[in-house]
Amino acid sequence: MADLRQEALDYHALPTPGKISVELTTAAETSYDLSLAYSPGVAEPVRAIAENPDDVYKYTGKGNTVAVITNGTAILGLGNLGPMAAKPVMEGKALLFKRFADINSIDIEVKHKTVEDFIDTVANIADSFGGINLEDIKAPECFVIEKALIERCKVPVFHDDQHGTAIVTAAGMLNALDIQGKNIKHADIVCMGAGAAAIACMELLIKCGAQREKIYMLDTKGVIHTRRDDLNEYKRLFANNTDKRTLEDVIDGADVFVGVSGPNVLSAEHVKMMAPKPVIFACSNPDPEIKPELALSTRDDVIIATGRSDYPNQVNNVLCFPFIFRGALDVRARTINDQMKVACVNAIRELAKEPVPKEVLDASGVDSLVFGKEYIIPKPMDSRLCGRVAKAVAMAAVESGVAALEMPENYME
């Protein structure tokens, strides 16, 4: 672990500080090149865009650029550490956009006093980009911020920690429950955490068939129940009419544990109390609610997933956000709606059931990956993800009437 710490610091410091840079896409060698790129030639696209605003997509990089925007109030599972501490994560998201979906991405860390300040800042610059990926903003402010920005911005605004996490969780959960021979309609679900990701994950699982009364959500004070008077309007939607109060009370006989909270809150004893063939998603980053080796040492009928790259079953929003934006940008969707999210869930799920190419096995350092307990969801390095997910999302955008462009011919083929 000490090695990983130093290696991670070196990785960020060397060969140059940070993880991303800007590169040129046109020639800028000769005086003539510069007379096109800059004065006087640049005046031509200026005039064209002034006359026809849509030409901004033709003459600038807007249409293939996503801004990753945060205020640093909920960085991973590490907490409210401020905008500058969030910068490595935001540069990391930009790296992932580029690496997996060839989307140019820039990180923006906003210092602000009020929620309205943040909303104004983002809304005022949103037109510079093809889309806005909101990241690591704490609840409940994130709900207000996302709603206001969706209303005010002409480009898609997507809070990754809510919807990216929810989409990938739903895809992995439906596959894991299939493998365990369980139906989500009958599953008793424990959700540890009541922040942005928790609430979005549970809402999407309900859209996929889970029963709201069978969900027990816990915050730092324990089970969220109808007799509590300290709940915000978002948590209140999950207030369960129950006498159960603690994690022990609700984990007893549970089919599913979803952790989107913090490290090491689920013990071996808790895992033993769960129903036969349980599913555990310990998704707090970087340290999960329980280490997979501990969960697996207690019983052999459990499926466990984490948010990390170094264990099997990585349930992490990286499987979603690069590709959902790829699809949305390519048909110039003005928003990312539920139809696009569901299409994304299904495309991710289905890919896990197909034979895995050798390049993915090599990149994962394993000999085989077959749909089952240790492979419920595709690997981020699977280059088929971009085509499959982006296409499903783009088609859903076109079909649901939010796309400005038609489906491109032979898209992603």
Ligand X SMILES: O=C([O-])CC(=O)C(=O)O
Contact footprint for ligand X (CB under 6 A): 76, 89, 136, 160-161, 285, 307, 316-317
Q: What's 403's DSSP letter?
A: B
Residues 6+ apart with CB under 8 A from 222: 245, 246, 247
Tally: H helices and E strands in the chain: 17, 10
Residue 406: helix, strand or coil by DSSP?
A: coil
CB of 258 to Mg ion, least distance (A): 16
Beta-sheet strands, E only, within 12-156: 65-70, 104-109, 131-134
Tell me which residue has its CB nearest to Mg ion.
161
Give the binding-site size for Mg ion (rule: CB under 5 A). 3
Residue of 11, 32, 38, 59 marked active site:
38
Residue pair 306/369 in contact by the 8 Å Cβ criterion: no
Q: Which is nearer to Mg ion, 107 or 135 (CB)?
A: 135
Is 93 catalytic? The answer is yes
Residue pair 305/280 in contact by the 8 Å Cβ criterion: yes
Residues 6+ apart with CB under 8 A from 14: none
First-to-last alpha carbon distance for the chain, in angstroms, is: 42
Residue pair 226/245 in contact by the 8 Å Cβ criterion: no
Under the binding rule (CB under 5 A), the answer on residue 161 touching Mg ion is: yes
* Radius of gyration of the chain, Cα coordinates, nearest whole angstrom: 22
Please choose, out of 44-52, 158-166, 179-187, 392-400, the segment that lies near Mg ion by the rule CB under 5 A.
158-166
Q: Which is nearer to ligand X, 344 or 397 (CB)?
A: 344
306 binds, among Mg ion, ligand X, none (CB under 5 to 8 A by kind): none
Residues of this chain, 18-57, that bind Mg ion according to CB under 5 A: none
CB of 61 to ligand X, least distance (A): 25
CB of 181 to ligand X, least distance (A): 30
CB of 136 to Mg ion, least distance (A): 4
364 binds, among ligand X, Mg ion, none (CB under 5 to 8 A by kind): none
Under the binding rule (CB under 5 A), the answer on residue 146 touching Mg ion is: no
Please choose, out of 9-17, 116-124, 130-138, 334-342, the segment that lies near Mg ion by the rule CB under 5 A.
130-138
Under the binding rule (CB under 5 A), the answer on residue 136 touching Mg ion is: yes
Residue of 19, 32, 58, 93 marked active site:
93
Q: What's 356's DSSP letter?
A: P
Q: What is the dihedral of CA 251, 257, 262, 268, to 10 degrees?
A: 60
Please choose, out of 20-28, 129-137, 144-152, 259-267, the segment that lies near Mg ion by the rule CB under 5 A.
129-137
Q: Which is nearer to ligand X, 71 or 317 (CB)?
A: 317
Q: Which is nearer to ligand X, 101 or 331 (CB)?
A: 101
Please choose, out of 14-22, 31-39, 154-162, 322-330, the segment that lies near Mg ion by the rule CB under 5 A.
154-162
Across 30-61, b (16+ Cβ under 10 Å) vs e yields eeeeeeeeeeeeeeeeeeebeeeeeebbeeee
Tell me which residue has its CB nearest to ligand X.
285
Name the site residues for Mg ion (rule: CB under 5 A).
135-136, 161
Residues forming the active site: 38, 93
